[in-house]
Amino acid sequence: MISCSTASSISSFFSTVSLISWASAQLPQIYTNYVNKSAEGISPAFLLLWFLGDFLSFTSCLLNESVLKFQIYLSLFFICNDIVLCYQYYYYNHVYKVIDDNLTLYKEDEAEPVTHPQEHGDAALHDISSTIHIRSHIPEPEEPDEWSSLSPPSDGSIPNSYNSTGNKRPSMAKVITLGTMANAGVSNALPISQSMTTAAAMILASQEDKPHEHGLLALVLAWGCTAVYVSSRCPQLYKNYRRKSVEGVSPLLFGAALLGNLAYTVSVLTSCEFLLATDKSTYFWHQLPYLIGSSGTIVFDFAYFYQRRIYSNLPHYSTVVDLQPWHNIEESTHDA
**Residue 207, exposed/middle/buried by CB under 10 A (0-12, 13-18, 19+)?**
middle
Which residues have C-beta within 8 Å of that of residue 297, sequence separation ≥ 6?
184, 185, 229, 230, 232, 233, 257, 261
pLDDT in tens, the chain (336 residues): 577 788 888 888 998 998 889 878 878 888 898 898 888 899 999 999 988 888 887 887 787 666 677 778 878 888 888 888 889 999 998 888 777 666 666 666 665 555 554 444 455 445 544 444 444 444 444 444 444 444 445 454 444 444 444 444 444 444 333 333 333 333 333 333 333 333 333 444 444 445 556 667 777 877 888 888 889 999 999 999 999 999 999 999 999 989 988 998 888 888 887 887 777 788 788 788 878 888 888 889 999 999 999 998 776 554 444 455 555 556 666 555
Residue 137 phi/psi, 5-degree rounding, is -90, 0
pLDDT at res. 209: 47
Nearest by Cα to 198 from 76, 81, 69: 69
CA-to-CA distance for 251 and 246, rounded, in angstroms? Answer: 9
CB 199 within 8 A of CB 66: no
Instruction: State CA 134 to chain mean position distance.
Output: 38
pLDDT at 98: 76
What whole-number distance in Å separates Cα of residue 222 and Cα of residue 245? 33
CB 87 within 8 A of CB 147: no
Q: DSSP states of 27-64 as a string?
A: HHHHHHHHHHT--TTS-HHHHHHHHHHHHHHHHHHHH-
Alpha-carbon separation of residue 300 from 28, 295, 315 (angstroms): 19, 10, 25
pLDDT at 199: 38
CA pseudo-torsion sign 249, 250, 251, 256:
negative
pTM across the whole model: 0.57
pLDDT at residue number 144: 47
Task: Return the pLDDT at 216.
Answer: 78
Q: Can you tell me the distance from the alpha carbon of 89 to that of 47, in angstroms, rounded to the nearest whole number? A: 9
What would the DSSP string read from start to end of 156-175?
Answer: SPPPGGG-TT-TTPPPHHHH
Q: Which of 180, 236, 221 is nearest to 50 (CA)?
A: 180
Which segments of the chain are extended strands (E)?
Answer: none
- Are 233 and 296 spatial neighbours (Cβ–Cβ below 8 Å)? no
pLDDT of residue 324: 54
Question: So what's the pLDDT on residue 143?
Answer: 46
CB atoms inside a 10 Å sphere around CB 236: 26
